[in-house]
Structure 1
């Protein structure tokens, strides 16, 4: 099972604007941990600090016993932190297989010369990588699309390729930035089931940013809520549902938190 991921007192500023303000959270091994919050709450900044794209002004990021805080992004990936981005960044003219093989680069041991000369050891290693990529593609539902150019795939399948590419790096923890964004309801729930399969079948911890609250409540083991870069709540889905601070952050004052009929409103789309 993977190690825990711990953020301790992370602060990050851009000019005079604080994107993260002494943020602390822990992702326990083998869990789906979701980060939510209103637009501009600091969710993407949190992910960028973890994956090494931003360097925090203060605080630390620990994955097990490894301090990731000052490591570059490629070294953090080597430590077992995988990430799928919200904006799809695939090579459109390349096949799904080739897009996924890119993620195996950090796991390749054969040198440039051995690979260029097609030495037996290099050929054997590439064959093993391809077999693993085919296996992962089947796991995410892309087994029949490996030979297709990424640009001809439907939007939902391209999102699956993005997720599969992150899995192909063999991470111990997977960061997913709005994996269901822009999908129709039935495809959103397919992705939700896939996230649970990643946790249950592969034993990979998942740290997820998502705006779809019914989906969040259905798959999260734990939820951290951000507002203006600060953590305002952290707990199980049931605990977050009952948090007045969360309802206020999303919907404003208690007076605004009622429908025209006087029924309490919540961010989850249903009454408590």
Structure 2
């Protein structure tokens, strides 16, 4: 996941102005060519923010809920207008652009990014600060975290999809009997699989180390390790060997078979060089994507 997207002060002002203008379209009594002209200008203002929307989608790529929302909003803003254009079509088109601009505004606003909101909620549940049957409301959480309410809603939707939360009527509560580590590992495995399918990690390449994956998904290394173990069990990746040359602290990675090791003894000027290879999936090991 990339860094949080921020807008310059001038762009924020333009976005607020576009939101206000789009909120007044279509004007009462607009018909025919006048209505078509209004909606066309609305679409032009929406197109202006497609690039920012795509940047926000990239920044929130680890969230399936956010990705699905951005895909829907971008496709909706680029959908051709029907002919002839009715008042209902104009209202629907303007509402779609307005929703896109609001999403960009919320995603680029201050406060912790979506990944951090998700991690803080998950950590609170894992550590027992939010026990089973605890009620989670977006408004109070957003005020506590200092971020837009829509960002919290997206995080809650992700946790609901993972099975960490469940709905009881209108109330969203922590699910009973959830294995949080298993749920988190499955989530990471699914996102890494999606990145492989998208070509971000080509065949025969090495995945980033566990520590790097933990930073990408803003989680603990134990959780990232569990996700990689799940990927290996699925056959999505193969474990790779690591060759460590303990001479001047040099470390060198080599893909290959795991669990083979040798200790050649002493090399050089009395320095002991210990070379070995092992399966290090639970630490800073790396996995190789099959050819």
Give the alignment's TM-score, normalised by structure 1. Answer: 0.25
- Structure showing greater relative contact order (alpha-carbon pairs closer than 8 Å, 6 or more residues apart): 1
Larger strand proportion, structure 1 or 2? 1
Give the alignment's TM-score, normalised by structure 2. Answer: 0.24
Larger helix proportion, structure 1 or 2? 2
